[in-house]
Amino acid sequence: MNKCQVCENSSTTISNQLEMCVGCLRGGGGRNIESVRSTHLRSRRQFNLPGAPPRDTNGKLCKLCVNECSIPDGGYGFCGVRRNDNGRITGASAKNANVSWYHDPLPTNCVADWICPGGTGAGYPEYSYKNGPEYGYRNLAVFFQACSMNCLYCQNWHFRQESLLPARIAISDLTGSVYANTACVCYFGGDPTPQLPFALKASKEMLKNKKNRHFRVCWETNGTMHRRLLDAMIDLSLPTGGIIKFDLKAWDENVHRALTGITNTRTFENFAYAAQRIHERPDPSLLTANTLLVPGYVDEQEVRNIARFVAACDTSIPYSLLAFYPNFYMPDLPATSRAFAYRAYEIAKDEGLEKVKIGNVHLLR
């Protein structure tokens, strides 16, 4: 059993990569966060990515996300897909992206499948082809090979091997993959945030060519984008029956920084902002939240605070609690226990949320 290097507690789950318990992360302020920064630097050096968002005083400013990188000449932004070439931002743009995709039969294992038109027929007939699961239709699953965070437990960490590669995919390459039985597109990754200009433009092209068919625009995101980009996402999802899925990773700022390397301030601000528009389309829900139950770190206190926040925005917002599986730089943590997952479920319900689900049940131990 690992021991916290700050308080020497060995009675709780502790990762070797952080070397401290969640209590010390919450209570120790910046001092304890500094001690885990080396782990994030090491995890990014492996892929030649910047160790932290660059802050070059003479650099080129990128405002797509909360990191607001000031990229030095010849250098890359934190995400790896945007570069400063002689004072000009190159790489991923509204025309080209570092992205891959596949066609996923509906209903799929999307985090929102339990409340979305593709999985349930929600919003039928305005937003769904069937009054139930859309068997026979497909989701265009678009995976962006970059991210604005650096989660030490990332389940899709391999995308980092692709982030620095040239952004070769053109809008037409992606839009040409929408077929007659494509009922929706979902952008995920990584995260769509660093390449949102491409996703937004591609979505508009897809909708222009949909020929009176249902075509929902959905997003899975960490919510770090600039507010104007979030507005554009909402304006695409609302009229099409699409859903914006926010990953609320941790409530405490220090816990969040330890796990992801990045602040959570913009994420919660954006979530609250998006929540103001959910009444424009109650069914299906515009907005949903999910939290990965990372053993030892996303504990009862984190779940309670996140659930309380979501309920304060609106108690009708669906909330998924996802089982954790050890991966990337946190392979020493156990999978989420069944007992804790159900305790977290009860906590979320106690805070007033009307729709709560435990996801990835097959991973519970």
Compute the distance between CA of residue 52 and CA of residue 275 in angstroms, rounded to an integer: 30
How much is the average pLDDT of 25-47? 85
The H or E element that residue 189 is part of is strand 182-189
Q: What percent of the chain has pLDDT over 70?
A: 98
Confidence of residue 1 (pLDDT cuts 50, 70, 90): low
Q: What is the mean pLDDT of the chain?
A: 95
The H or E element that residue 114 is part of is none
Domain boundaries defined on the chain: 96-363
Which residue's entry shows tokens 């779940």?
303
How open is the CA angle 297-299-304, to the nearest 5 degrees? 135
Q: Looking at residue 29, what is its pLDDT?
A: 60
Q: Looking at residue 30, what is its pLDDT?
A: 58
How much is the average pLDDT of 27-33? 69
Over residues 64-113, the pLDDT tens digits come to 999 999 999 999 999 999 999 999 999 999 999 999 999 999 999 899 99
Compute the distance between CA of residue 195 and CA of residue 185 in angstroms, rounded to an integer: 15
Give the residues across from 245 on adjacent strands: 220, 288
How much is the average pLDDT of 252-264? 96
Compute the distance between CA of residue 71 and CA of residue 207 in angstroms, rounded to an integer: 34
Over residues 278-302, the pLDDT tens digits come to 999 999 999 999 999 999 999 999 9
Over residues 145-197, the pLDDT tens digits come to 999 999 999 999 999 999 999 999 999 999 999 999 999 999 999 999 999 99
Confidence of residue 267 (pLDDT cuts 50, 70, 90): very high
Question: 323 and 358 in contact (C-beta within 8 Å)?
Answer: yes
Q: Looking at residue 31, what is its pLDDT?
A: 65
Which residue's entry shows tokens 């990045």?
262
pTM to 2 decimals?
0.96
Q: In terms of Cα–Cα distance, which of 86, 79, 81, 80 is closest to 59?
A: 86
In the CATH hierarchy, which fold is given to the domain comprising 96-363?
A: TIM Barrel (3.20.20)
Whether residue 33 is predicted with pLDDT greater than 80 in this model: the reply is: no
Compute the distance between CA of residue 259 and CA of residue 254 in angstroms, rounded to an integer: 9
Over residues 2-25, the pLDDT tens digits come to 888 888 888 889 999 998 999 999
CB-count exposure of residue 228 (10 Å: 0-12, 13-18, 19+): exposed
